Amino acid sequence: MSGWTLGIIGGSGLYEIDGLEGTEEIAVETPWGAPSDKLVRGHIGDVSLVFLPRHGKGHRLTPSTVPYRANIDALKRLGCTDVLSISACGSLQEAYAPGDFVMPDQFIDRTVSRDNSFFGPGMVAHVSMADPICERLSAMAGDAAEAAGVKVHRGGTYLVIDGPQFSSRAESFLYRQWGCDIIGMTNMPEAKLAREAELPYATMAMVTDYDCWREETDAVSVTNVLEVMQKNANAAKQAIAGIVKTLQGVERTGSPQGIETCLDYAMITAPDARDPAMLAKLDAVAGRLLV
């Protein structure tokens, strides 16, 4: 194998990967509970892949009931080296049209009701989120999406809300004033947790609609979203195939941003003050530093 084990978190409309060989379904137990669903592990050529449907098969989980900590822990536990998030989003800018893909490089986290860290009392850590996206993985995913015939926007700010309701017009206008480009409900705390787990993470955000700021179009509805979502999901599958093709035969090296060692500079609790129970829960996420 090439050293790549790509974890893929499938968002709305993406519940499987085409072309996986040697597949097995794995029910992973984590200290943070069960992940959204069984994970599917397999390979395409010499690239290993692990797939997890974020909302569970059949879209059973709301954005705020997705077990984000369990999901990231499970991907780390199964040996993933990198994580690509696929997610649907709304557009806050005229140029980002339904059907376009966005490779954001920044997030604004407006969620308030979710567990957003693996660390806590007894083991405190502060990772940097200045640059939350793995530039290398994002570039490869963007190239693959363009090769699949999709219009791709490189960079942009993804505003994350709790949901499950869509935003009000007043909120939508406010987010545009903040300079946000797209809006969604799922990439936080997912990106924060991936960084704590030292996993290079990138988002392929698929625009399904204009958010309700655009008064000349109908306000966003599930009916409208589903139609675009199906087209986007097919393009996302082609893009995933393209990423895997790029990775074939390319030996994986560490992230140029040093993401795989970010905890070296993050953990602050003195060794003699660390809670053994908390350390046990961090066996997958931070095990390399806690042995």
Query: For 189-211, what is the HEC assignment?
Result: CHHHHHHHCCCCEEEEEEEEEEC
pLDDT for the residue numbered 217: 66
The token duo for 255 is: 């992230």
Handedness of CA 112, 65, 37, 18 (dihedral sign): negative
pLDDT for the residue numbered 14: 73
Nearest to 275 by CA among 169, 137, 120, 131: 120
CB neighbours of residue 256 within 10 Å: 10
pLDDT, tens only, 54-89? 999 989 999 999 999 999 999 999 999 999 999 999
pLDDT bin (cut points 50, 70, 90) of residue 11 is confident
When pLDDT is averaged across residues 197-214 and rounded to a whole number, the result is 95
Indicate the residue type of 52.
L
What crossing angle do the helices spanning 135-147 and 222-247 adopt, rounded to 10°? Answer: 110
pLDDT for the residue numbered 232: 78
Average predicted confidence (pLDDT) for the chain: 93
Q: Find out whether 183 and 159 touch, Cβ atoms under 8 Å.
A: yes
Q: Find out whether 21 and 1 touch, Cβ atoms under 8 Å.
A: no
pLDDT, tens only, 124-134? 999 999 999 99
| Active-site residue set | 209, 211
pLDDT, tens only, 155-192? 999 999 999 999 999 999 999 999 999 999 999 999 99
pLDDT bin (cut points 50, 70, 90) of residue 9 is very high
| Long-range CB contacts for residues 24-27, cutoff 8 Å, separation at least 24 | 26/78
* CA dist., res. 111 & res. 149, Å (int): 33
pLDDT, tens only, 243-278? 999 999 789 999 999 999 999 999 999 999 999 999
| pLDDT higher than 90, residue 219 | no
pLDDT for the residue numbered 81: 98
Q: What is the largest CA-CA distance in the chain?
A: 61
Kindly state the percentage of the chain with pLDDT values over 90: 84
Domain ranges of the chain: 5-290
Burial of 253 (0-12, 13-18, 19+ CB in 10 A): exposed
Q: Find out whether 44 and 119 touch, Cβ atoms under 8 Å.
A: no
Q: Which one of 3.40.50.1580, 3.40.1410.10, 3.40.50.300, 3.40.50.2000 gives the CATH number of domain 5-290?
A: 3.40.50.1580
| pLDDT higher than 60, residue 145 | yes
In the block, which residue shows the tokens 């030996």? 251
Kindly state the percentage of the chain with pLDDT values over 70: 95
Residue 183, phi then psi, degrees to nearest 5: -135, 140
